[in-house]
Amino acid sequence: MFARFFNALGRPLVRFIQYLGEVVMLAADTFHSLFTRRLRWKLFLNQIVEIGLLSQLVVVITGGFTGAVFSAQTYFQFHKIGMGSATGAVVSVALMRELGPVLTALMVTGRVGAAMSAEIGTMKVTEQIDALRALAVYPTDYLVVPRALAMMVSMPLLVAECIAVGIAVGYFVAISLLEINGTYYMANMVRWTRNRDIIMGVSKAFCFGILIVFISCHKGLTAREGAVGVGRATTEAVVNASLAVLISNFFLTMTLNIIYPAGYQ
């Protein structure tokens, strides 16, 4: 009975470890290519447009409404204890340290990660990746390196944008709808927000970008069995990348908090 239990437990565990290994190997291969092979600038710039430019609307709406609702909710609680003007500080720090990076990463996973795995997966099942290989082009160099680099550049900027829009909209909601004094709001926000909060948010963005791009590309590169396989790969890419973002966020918070501690010091 125990043997059967461990057998049942062991197989998915081995498969999971194998999956992690494959993603790490893809990442290692990509970084190796990044530093040793020529970069295809055109593909890189295309990906910057795809990841960075075309995500603008999604990121602005995410940041804006998160800032707005967080500002309102914080005010509703803080107002009761006479700390309404501290809302700005809470909104700003929370957006920088947690909400901005996590929500942007989840939105980018849905928009860009899904597209990456679907596009690469379709190329896989239609033999286009075999065609690349047959034409003496290493698929990692051609498909993964430009996407990974574009993601590493775009994600910190998208997160910074999300945070900025969130703070701006939160401020607007606070002073126009919640009648908080704008000067106190700003003063508290500036007083309690530190450069290290910005660095933490941007560092998380960079890490999340890496997780999203490698999980999505790996799913695309290992897609099988036609349209159904591509659909499955895309779904798994979005689910896995979202979970990876949420789980790693906790560990990143705990680790980065040692280097960049929260609070006024």
Contact footprint for another protein (CB under 8 A): 122-123, 126-128, 130-131, 133-138
User: Considering the complex, what minimum distance in angstroms separates the CB of residue 102 from another protein?
Assistant: 32
User: Considering the complex, what minimum distance in angstroms separates the CB of residue 23 from another protein?
Assistant: 18
- Closer of 85 and 122 to another protein (Cβ): 122
- Closer of 126 and 181 to another protein (Cβ): 126
User: Considering the complex, what minimum distance in angstroms separates the CB of residue 30 from another protein?
Assistant: 14
8 A C-beta contact, residue 164 and residue 63: yes
Q: What distance in Å separates the CA atoms of residue 90 and residue 60, rounded to the nearest whole number?
A: 20
User: Considering the complex, what minimum distance in angstroms separates the CB of residue 38 from another protein?
Assistant: 9
Q: What distance in Å separates the CA atoms of residue 252 and residue 177, rounded to the nearest whole number?
A: 35
Residue 55 Cα to chain centre, angstroms? 12
Residue 42 Cα to chain centre, angstroms? 24
- Phi then psi for residue 126, to 5 deg, are -100, 15
Q: What distance in Å separates the CA atoms of residue 159 and residue 59, rounded to the nearest whole number?
A: 8
- Closer of 43 and 152 to another protein (Cβ): 43
Mention every residue, 6+ apart, whose C-beta is less than 8 A from residue 166: 63, 64, 66, 67, 70, 91, 95, 99, 100
- Closer of 15 and 133 to another protein (Cβ): 133
User: Considering the complex, what minimum distance in angstroms separates the CB of residue 121 from another protein?
Assistant: 13
- Closer of 126 and 255 to another protein (Cβ): 126
